[in-house]
Amino acid sequence: MPIPATWSARLLSVMRIVVALVFFSHGISKFFGLPPFPMPMNPLLYVAGILEVVGGGMLIIGLFTRPVAFVLSGMSAVAYFLAHFPHGPFPIANGGEPAVLYCFVFLSLAAAGGGACR
C-alpha cells in the first residue's frame, strides 16, 4: 500500500528534523566530545562544527530552512572534496558516503523547503 500523497509535506518535515539531528550531533561531537571526535581539531573543523551546530539547530526548528540547507549542502560538498576525494573518486571506497548524502539531502531541502511543520 503506497503512502498517500497528502503525507508528503509531513514526511518532508520528519526527514528534515531527523537529518538535522544527526548532522547536529556531528558538531556536538567536535566541540563536546560526545561521542569522542576521532581526530585533532583544526581551524577548518572548527568552522564545520559551528555550521553543524548552528545550521543543524536551525533546521531542527525549521528556521530559514532553504538558505541554511543550501549553505550546509555546500559545506558537505566541500567536506567531500577536501577530506574524501583525495583518497579516490568513489564514495564507497573513500569513506565519503555520508558527505555525499548530506550534500544532496540538504540540496533537496533547499529546493523543496522544510515541509509542513516549520
Structure confidence at residue 117 (pLDDT)? 82
Nearest residue to 112 via CA among 21, 3, 12, 19 = 12
Task: Tell me what pLDDT residue 1 has.
Answer: 82
Q: What is the mean pLDDT of residues 39-60?
A: 96
pTM of the predicted model as reported, rounded to 2 decimal places: 0.94
Torsions phi, psi for 96 (to 5 deg): -95, 10
Give the residue among 20, 11, 9 at the shortest CA–CA distance from 64: 20
Q: Is 80 exceeded by the pLDDT of residue 118?
A: no
Candidates 14, 28, 22; CA nearest to 62 is: 14
Confidence of residue 28 (pLDDT cuts 50, 70, 90): very high
Which helix (DSSP H) or strand (DSSP E) does residue 117 occupy?
Answer: none
Q: Residue 109: how many CB atoms within 10 A of its CB?
A: 24
- Is 90 exceeded by the pLDDT of residue 100? yes
pLDDT tens digit string along 33-46?
988 998 899 999 99
